[in-house]
Amino acid sequence: MRASRRSILRTTLLGLGAAAAGAAATRIPDMFGPDRLPLSGGYAAAADNPGAVRHPTTSITYYVDTAEPVVAFTFDDGPGPRWTPMVLDALDAHNVPATFFMVGRNLETYADLVRGRLGRHEVANHSWSHPDLAKLDLEDVRRQITRTHETIAAVTGRQTRLLRPPYGHFGGSTILAADSLGYDVVLWSRQMREKVYAKDPSKQVEDIVNSVRPGDIVLAHDVGRRERLVALNNLGAMFTGLRARGFRFVTVSELRALQRPAPPPPAPPPLAGPPQAGPPQAAARR
């Protein structure tokens, strides 16, 4: 029996719909994965723009390889009126230096919060408006870094060369922009886990005090969700506990200066020679 034109059309449409649904399902993890911002474009590939390269290398630092018991506390996203002053108070009370990765527009808005309070502390670049830099092209990333760089210089009189990309995300365009502007990238090796310890802040203290190792960079935030108070309200206990373990506190730049030289790479194994010719084969009989 011959199929009707209507049944053929219905079958075709159902097949196309199923294919589209399947394709959408495979995209959902990419759109809504951890720390990803949905519906805002794809990640920037490693841009093929050799004209942007200014330095042989641009370093990316998670921690520093050192035997000295040192640790660097870092605070992202500020300054902000709710918590930046209390963080500075805690640092002052315990004589601890820290590195603040500042969002440029926040620094411009709340410059008076930090004027005169950054003596022992380091200020670094966390972009102008906190976008996902991995999704921006080279020129947009440059603008994010440059505008913040200029604001830091205007407010603090300092020249920073350290960048922490928001969310820890970066693509090829981020690295090229950092390179072209003389920046290095700094990430982290320990972080506050406020959600995990929301109902027992003392466990957050124990986690940091017991897990920090020499050369670690610790991530915290002085702007954001209220749960971050789980960490911020207990900074003093963390500082006291780490000092009891023999740790001292440094800025990220001071920590990077302690980096042990990398050992030379092992010698590569000798290359195998060309295959040896075997004995001549007897001519095949006809």
Residues classed as catalytic? 76, 221
Cβ atoms 83, 100 nearer than 8 A: no
Torsion over CA: 195, 200, 201, 204 (sign): negative
Task: Give the Cα-Cα-Cα angle 102, 108, 111 (nearest 5 degrees).
Answer: 85
DSSP assignments along 126-157, one per residue: --SS---GGGS-HHHHHHHHHHHHHHHHHHH-
* Cα 252 to Cα 21: distance, rounded to the nearest angstrom: 48
Q: What is the DSSP letter of 227?
A: G
Rounded to the nearest angstrom, the gap between the alpha carbon of residue 236 and the centroid of all alpha carbons in its chain is 25
- Could you tell me which residues come within 8 angstroms of residue 35 by beta carbon, excluding any fewer than 6 positions away? 167, 168, 169
Inter-residue contact 83 to 232 (CB < 8 Å): yes
What is the full DSSP assignment across 89-108?
HHHHHTT---EEEE-HHHHH
Question: In degrees rounded to 5, what are phi and psi of residue 124?
Answer: -135, 175
Q: Which residues contact 206 (CB under 8 A, 6 or more apart)?
A: none
Residue 196 carries which side chain, given as an amino acid letter?
Answer: V
